[in-house]
Amino acid sequence: FFAGRMLSLDQINADQPLILKELDWAEQEPLPLLSPPCPSWRQDVSLDCKFSPEDTQAHAWTTYYYDLLQCTLQQEGLPETVDRTKKPRTGFSSGDVTLCILGSPTSYLSVLLEGGAQCPGNMLLCLSPSWLAKVPSEQHPGESSLLVSKAVSFELGGRTCLDEFSPPRRVTYFMGSFGPCKEHGQSAGELARDLDCPTGGSGELARLLEDKLLTRQLLDQRAQVGVPPTLAFTFKRLRPLRDVTAEHSVRMVELSGKEGQENLIQEEIEAFLKGSAMEPYSQVVVKPSGWRWSGAHAVTFHAKAEQVAVLQAVLTLLETLEEEESALLEAFIPTARLTQPESPNGTSPSSTSPRPDLAIRICTVVCRSWGDQPLLSQVVCGVGRADKPLKHQATVPQSLESGLRQQGVTDEAQLAAIRTQVKQKAEAAMMAFLEMEAGLSVEQRGGRRAQTDVIGVDFLLTSSKQVLQLMALEMNSQLCLETCALFESMGQAVGVPAGESSRPLVETMLRRAQCHLMEGKHVLVIGAGGVSKKFVWEAARAYGLKVRCGNRAPRCQAQPPPSAMEWG
């Protein structure tokens, strides 16, 4: 979980169970323990929702998330949340901006704090789906409006308040952990489906973003970013993959069923392992691809020479997969072994034992900006042991330049070139996903207003013939955002600016919410017939405005589009 404290490499245990990126309102397990075990914050806060009572287990999770928020705020040096529920807040109208997030506070803390800075009191965190309700939309038949009756409001300076709203506030932008729901009656994905307000994702889009085979194909073919050589076995391709015919670094094999496929699978594995693309590598990874498998579940590592073990691992994994899921066999990419500065006796200056070989994983956060253009907002270099797979939760986050210098890259021109390459490849990755997303139907996206506004892209720094190269590993929805937020939190004492990773995202959230509020409004434009007012018509179309012109020029040089024009 999010913690504003420094870690040493000795404290990192790469074999420890993976902390899931998000509990997704779904875990049927005992509640995780918080530190400190004896909280110093008030426990008598009102977390119940009178409109939608929770059962015992659901309420326990709501309480856990509230305590997690207080623990995180305390670690950040921020004040405890003030309970204002005894005096419900009133006076909000349908024209007010209301940005709402449903999810774990550790996953979205940087977004929430930045939202509190950009729009104080209008950035809300819901700790339970029961605090939200869908009602039929008055303006858009067939869609729903989302109302929030209780939330944690974020204010300037990191101040937070637990509020009730009477009547409930109308949400103008919604984002959340779009996972499957087991624990609560409604998940964020279900709440987000077919809303009349903008959403920063949906359950349908999250399933695509978290599918390793789909995103790897996008990275390989559309973004033209290097990825590990991959052999994929699937029973049924996802819709965006059904037209893929070309093969570069990723080969897809579609199986007709789970029975009688052993010979085909064995032949494909043998050909893949003996192929030229696999010559530089000595190890392979077998992993599942699909929504249910986000994280490091069922991932195994094998020597390339152990073909029998590799085959058995693939066959075993295929038995557990559902229709549109895949089994991936890929090269295990070693990170670049760079020269590390050492003391004369071959040890690090602060230790009497030899320093372990280190590796770096580069995490990037990319946001959708104005004009649907991707914008890199933060880069973090995670440092970990080279003899273990690098996980987000098992690395020490630091700046890209610090991580590279620690690995022996000290030339300023080379550092700048690597950063430029990271920016180009990360933004190309998001553009590939956005282009794929633009081709989906409303139903496939999960709603008319659903779109992906932020992604994370992970890279490894590897080398080929003494030349450093970036290798893209995966896209994700939250892991990189959490890692970058942790870096900013840990670095505040040494001058690292807070909120950089989330600032463009919050700006996009606000812009989309404001566009939503302007939709259908009438605007009077004086002198709209001149060339200087041409920009009005594009903006009117984007905002959904109805423009009324104050005068009609008989010889108008700039003809407005009829769909946006109403003469006054």
Q: Residue 429's closest CA among 509, 364, 482?
A: 364
**DSSP E strand boundaries for 272-395:** 283-289, 300-303, 326-331, 358-368, 374-385
**pLDDT band with cut points at 50, 70 and 90 for residue 101:** very high
The burial class, CB within 10 Å (0-12 / 13-18 / 19+), for 565 is middle
Contact 529, 558 (CB under 8 A): yes
Average pLDDT, the chain: 83
What is the model's pLDDT at position 291? Answer: 82
**pLDDT band with cut points at 50, 70 and 90 for residue 16:** very low
Residue-wise DSSP of 410-428: --HHHHHHHHHHHHHHHHH
Is 288 or 546 the better-scoring residue by pLDDT? 288
Rounded to 10 deg, the angle between the 503-518 and 534-543 helix axes is: 90
Residue type, 91: G
What is the model's pLDDT at position 530? Answer: 63
* Poorest-pLDDT segment among 32-41, 165-174, 237-246: 32-41
- What is the spatial distance between Cα 303 and Cα 283, in angstroms, rounded to a whole number? 4
Q: Residue 397's closest CA among 486, 503, 334?
A: 486
Is 38 or 333 the better-scoring residue by pLDDT? 333
What is the model's pLDDT at position 466? Answer: 72
Please list the residues that pair with 61 across neighbouring strands. none
Please list the residues that pair with 303 across neighbouring strands. 283
Reply yes or no on domain 229-332 having CATH 3.30.110: no
Handedness of CA 271, 277, 282, 286 (dihedral sign): negative
pLDDT tens per residue, range 72-100:
999 899 999 999 999 999 989 888 999 99
What is the model's pLDDT at position 406? Answer: 81
Instruction: Give the list of residues 6+ apart from residue 306 with CB closer than 8 angstroms, or none.
Output: none
Is 56 or 198 the better-scoring residue by pLDDT? 198
- What is the spatial distance between Cα 470 and Cα 421, in angstroms, rounded to a whole number? 8
Q: CA–CA distance from 548 to each of 10, 43, 381, 523, 562 (Å)?
A: 67, 55, 52, 6, 11
Average pLDDT over residues 236-260: 84
- What is the spatial distance between Cα 362 and Cα 365, in angstroms, rounded to a whole number? 10
- The first and second tokens of residue 67, run together, are 């305590």
Contact 151, 131 (CB under 8 A): yes
The burial class, CB within 10 Å (0-12 / 13-18 / 19+), for 334 is middle
pLDDT tens per residue, range 272-310:
999 999 999 999 999 999 888 866 578 999 999 999 999
What is the model's pLDDT at position 206? Answer: 92
pLDDT tens per residue, range 479-515:
888 888 888 888 776 777 778 889 999 999 999 999 9
Instruction: Give the list of residues 6+ apart from residue 321 with CB closer than 8 angstroms, or none.
Output: 235, 288, 290, 327
Q: What are phi and psi of 286, to 5 degrees?
A: -115, 125
Most confident range, picked from 103-107, 533-537, 559-563? 103-107
pTM across the whole model: 0.86
Q: Is the pLDDT of residue 349 over 80?
A: no
Rounded (10°) CA dihedral 399, 401, 405, 410: -170
